[in-house]
Amino acid sequence: MSKRRSIISYEKLTIDQKKQILKDFPDGYINHLTSITTPTGEVLDALIWETDEVIYLVKINKVIPKAVAVEDEDDIEEVDVKDDDLDADDDEEDDSYDKPDADAEDDDEDEE
């Protein structure tokens, strides 16, 4: 007896079904997606997910990042930083780590 086949959108899956997909694809399902072209020419990503009773074709919506438009350039705060200021601060901190403490060497000699 063959399994029933069903096409469903990811959003319409139950919470238990979504949890089961996470268990079945612990490393994620992005590498298991299939591209499908609908009769209207729309390209969809889908996941073929097989359970004991049903083989699902789960439609996955593509997440399109939204760009944030900057309305006015005056809203952007500019910070004027001089390269000399950055280098001076870094050099002072780095010097303290490069050189061993003179006290530490004296302590080592006393212990012997």
Residue 103 lies in a domain: yes
Q: Are residues 12 and 52 in the same domain?
A: yes
Q: Which phi and psi angles does 68 have, rounded to 5°? A: -95, 120
Model confidence at 56, pLDDT cuts 50, 70, 90, reads: very high
Nearest to residue 56, comparing CAs of 12, 103, 92?
12
Do 51 and 9 share a domain, yes or no?
yes
Mean pLDDT of 1-16: 91
Residue 104 lies in a domain: yes
Domain co-membership, 56 together with 84: no
Region 89-108: what's the mean pLDDT? 54
Average pLDDT of span 2-12: 92
Domain assignment of residue 23, given as a range:
4-60
Residue 85 lies in a domain: yes
Question: For residues 47 and 21, is the Cβ–Cβ distance under 8 A?
Answer: yes
- The answer to whether residue 47 sits within a structural domain is yes
User: CA angle, 94 as apex, 88 and 85 as ends, to 5°?
Assistant: 15
What is the domain count for the chain? 2
* pLDDT-derived band at 55, boundaries 50, 70, 90: very high
Query: Is residue 72 one of the residues assigned to a domain?
Result: no
End-to-end Cα spacing for the chain = 84
Distance CA 112, CA 110 (A): 6
**Higher pLDDT pick, 38 / 68:** 38
